[in-house]
Structure 1
């Protein structure tokens, strides 16, 4: 497989196990670094297709490193950590992570999650006739995974783009947070409404002129969220 995988992990035993596991699955382009500085330096010259990121690194906090990585790549980021608290998981998603895997982990599950993330990524970058969703303030390019807001191209994580694209393809329909989590994250799990709320907030910060008074992704209290493709102008005449 030609997908390039970057492992950021300082525990040699875990890094070696992951390299061996991925090699057995046919992934030949696997690179491993043990520090955040090395990871950032690597991304200056090349971009991986997916990143496995340890939270506890010798030179930095993985959550904070994720923010810096997001300035350089929109590749899916999967956190690897022994932290199991809901707060840590939500922090990982808020910082731009796409998945969260706790140690000790099942090797088959890790491979399955990597394959799922890579498959979704390919859906947005595969060669096909151009197809865009264009709105007053922004444009979504479904083929390239690009987001242009008021003439400026912005980076999106894979999950942010997937959620925004889902809204664009289902306008004027009401969805609960639980429904969005099931449909976009492809998982049924209680207690993840906050994850959806965090991602909606991140999207609003990108596309809305005033994220505190959103016009596109509107919350109907007690009911859910609706994407309104043609909202009223901010200052109607």
Structure 2
């Protein structure tokens, strides 16, 4: 059985110690960082399967760490935040985070979310191993779990990948936001409809020539979203 490595980045040693203990008990390998710079360095050296990232890190903020990771990696990122306002959490998703937990949090909940994220990130959602749209403008390679836009890796996060593969599995079907949450993310997802909109916005910026006039991920006003691409 594969052992997943989790990077925990938090400047509070007690939180890191408790979180590490619960994760190790659940069978994960854990590496720890107490600053933003350490988190970036350890990520490059170890390439973990998932990152638990506190927003309030010294030297380099969690937001900056998240943005830097997203430039080169689609690794799942679970944010820890003491900010309770909904907009703060939505902003984190816009930066590229995949899920969040608000402090103070239960270590058991964090472990459960890590497990759910990793399960979703390794599930195969499309009907074929390789889907090609508009003569190669968009290619979804399900075996490699990657998406190419005009021949270049679109660097989707796994949440963005799940949204796209869920929609393209049922071309033309209109998904209400609640249905998309249940089908793509599972019922443990707490982001709500605004979080779905944030993932859709990020996805469009990566795969659409003009995100304001999307060809692939289309809005059906007053209802939800559908996939508009035709396989070629």
TM-score strictly above 0.5:
yes
> 1:63·1:91 contact (CA, 8 Å) conserved in 2?
no
> 2:7·2:43 contact (CA, 8 Å) conserved in 1?
no
Map of 1:201 onto structure 2? 201
Map of 1:32 onto structure 2? 32
Cα distance in structure 2, aligned partners of 1:100 and 1:39: 18
TM superposition shift of 1:190: 8.4
Matches within 5 A, 1:220-235: 220-230=220-230
Q: Which of these residues, 130, 133, 136, is aligned with residue 132 of structure 1? A: 130
Q: Does 1:49 align with 2:49?
A: yes
- Residue by residue over 1:24-50, the C-alpha shift from the partner in whole angstroms, topping out at 9 and shown as x without a partner, is 2222x2100111111212233331100
TM superposition shift of 1:131: 0.5
The runs of 5 or more residues in structure 1 that have no matched partner are 125-129, 232-237
Cα distance in structure 1, aligned partners of 2:191 and 2:161: 22
Map of 1:82 onto structure 2? 82
Cα distance in structure 2, aligned partners of 1:64 and 1:165: 28
TM-score normalised by the chain length of structure 1: 0.89
CA gap 1:191/1:33 in 2 versus in 1, 3 angstroms: closer
Map of 2:13 onto structure 1? 12
Q: How well do the aligned residues superpose, as a CA RMSD in angstroms?
A: 2.2
SS in 1 for 2:194: helix
TM superposition shift of 1:89: 1.0
TM superposition shift of 1:158: 0.9
- Residue by residue over 1:112-159, the C-alpha shift from the partner in whole angstroms, topping out at 9 and shown as x without a partner, is 1111111122325xxxxx801111121111122111101111211110
Structure 1 segments of 4 or more deviating over 3 A?
Answer: 188-191
TM-score normalised by the chain length of structure 2: 0.91
The runs of 5 or more residues in structure 2 that have no matched partner are none
SS in 2 for 1:70: helix
Q: Does 1:23 align with 2:8?
A: no
Cα distance in structure 1, aligned partners of 2:218 and 2:122: 29
TM superposition shift of 1:189: 7.5
TM superposition shift of 1:75: 1.4
Larger radius of gyration: 1
Cα distance in structure 1, aligned partners of 2:59 and 2:190: 35
CA gap 1:73/1:188 in 2 versus in 1, 3 angstroms: closer
TM superposition shift of 1:191: 7.6
Q: Does 1:98 align with 2:98?
A: yes
Map of 2:181 onto structure 1? 181
TM superposition shift of 1:188: 7.2
Higher relative contact order (CA 8 A, sep 6+): 2
TM superposition shift of 1:97: 0.7
User: Matched residue pairs, number?
Assistant: 227
